[in-house]
Amino acid sequence: MVRGATLVEKIIARAAGRDRVTPGEIVTVAVDFAFAHDSSGPRRWAPMLKDLGVGLWDSDRVAIVSDHYVPAVDADSAAILKLTRQFAAEHGVRNFFDMVGICHLVLPEHGLIRPGAVIAGGDSHTPMAGAFGAYAAGYGATDMAAIVATGRTWVSVPETIRVDWSGRFAQGVAAKDVMLFLCRVLGMDNAFKAVEYGGETVRAIGMAERMVLCNMAAELGCETGVVAPDTVTFDYLRRAGAPVEDEAGARAIASDPDAVYGAVHAFRAGDLEPQIAAPHSPADSAPVSEHIGARIDQAYIGACVGAKIEDLRMAARVLKGRRVSAGTRLLIAPASSRTTTEASGDGTLQTLMEAGATLLPSGCGACAGMGAGLLAEDETCISSTNRNFRGRMGAKSSRVYLGSPYSVAAAAVAGCIADPREMLAEDAA
Amino acid sequence: MSGRAFLFGDNIDTDVMAPGYLMKLPPEQLARHCLEAVDPDFAATVRPGDFVVGGLSFGIGSSREQAAVSLKLLGVRAVIARSFARIFWRNAINLGLPCIALDDTGAVAAGDRLDLDLASGRLTNLSQKHVHVFTPLPGHLTAMIEDGGLMPHLKRRLGKTA
The DSSP code sequence of A191-228 is TTEEEEEESHHHHHS-HHHHHHHHHTTTTTT-SEEE--
Which residue positions in chain A have pLDDT lower than 70? 1
Give the model's confidence band at B86: pLDDT under 50 very low, under 70 low, under 90 confident, else very high: very high
Which pLDDT score is estimated for A57? 98
Cβ distance of A40 and B64 shorter than 8 Å: yes
Cβ distance of B155 and A51 shorter than 8 Å: yes
Shortest CB distance from B86 goes to which of A44, A191, A369?
Answer: A191
Cβ distance of A389 and B84 shorter than 8 Å: no
Cβ distance of A140 and B160 shorter than 8 Å: no
Which pLDDT score is estimated for A1? 63
CA neighbor of A397 nearest in space, from B43, B33, B35, B37: B37
Which pLDDT score is estimated for B162? 43
CA neighbor of B2 nearest in space, from B123, B121, B133: B123
Which pLDDT score is estimated for A79? 97
Measure A321 CA to nearest chain B CA, in Å: 36
Q: What is the mean pLDDT of chain B?
A: 93
Which pLDDT score is estimated for B161? 47
Mean pLDDT of B98-104: 93
Shortest CB distance from A191 goes to which of B16, B84, B138?
Answer: B84
**Could you report the per-residue pLDDT of B20-63, keeping only the tens digit for each?**
889 889 999 999 999 999 999 999 999 999 999 999 999 999 99
HEC assignment per residue over A260-314: CCCEEEEEEHHHCCCEEECCCCCCCEEEHHHHCCCECCEEEECHHHHCCHHHHHH
Give the model's confidence band at B119: pLDDT under 50 very low, under 70 low, under 90 confident, else very high: confident
| Structural domains for chain A | 7-268 (3.30.499.10), 274-428 (3.30.499.10)
Task: Name which residue leads in pLDDT, B160 or A25.
Answer: A25
Cβ distance of B63 and A40 shorter than 8 Å: yes
| Structural domains for chain B | 3-112 (3.20.19.10)
Give CA–CA dist A60/A55, Å, rounded.
13
- Taking CA–CA distances from A54, the nearest residue in chain B reads B158
pTM of the model: 0.95
Q: How many CB atoms lie within 10 A of CB A347?
A: 12
Give A44's contacts in chain B (Cβ within 8 Å). Answer: 65
Buried b (16+ CB within 10 A) or exposed e, A299-326: bbbbbbbbbbbbbbbbbbbbbbebebbe
Give B35's contacts in chain A (Cβ within 8 Å). Answer: none
Which pLDDT score is estimated for B160? 53
Give A189's contacts in chain B (Cβ within 8 Å). Answer: 56-57, 83
Cβ distance of A389 and B65 shorter than 8 Å: no
Backbone angles phi, psi at A66, to 5 degrees: -85, 110
- Taking CA–CA distances from A122, the nearest residue in chain B reads B63
| Whether pLDDT at B159 is above 80 | no
- Pick from A43, A143, A284 the residue to mutate for testing the B interface (most B CBs within 10 Å): A143
Cβ distance of B56 and A192 shorter than 8 Å: no
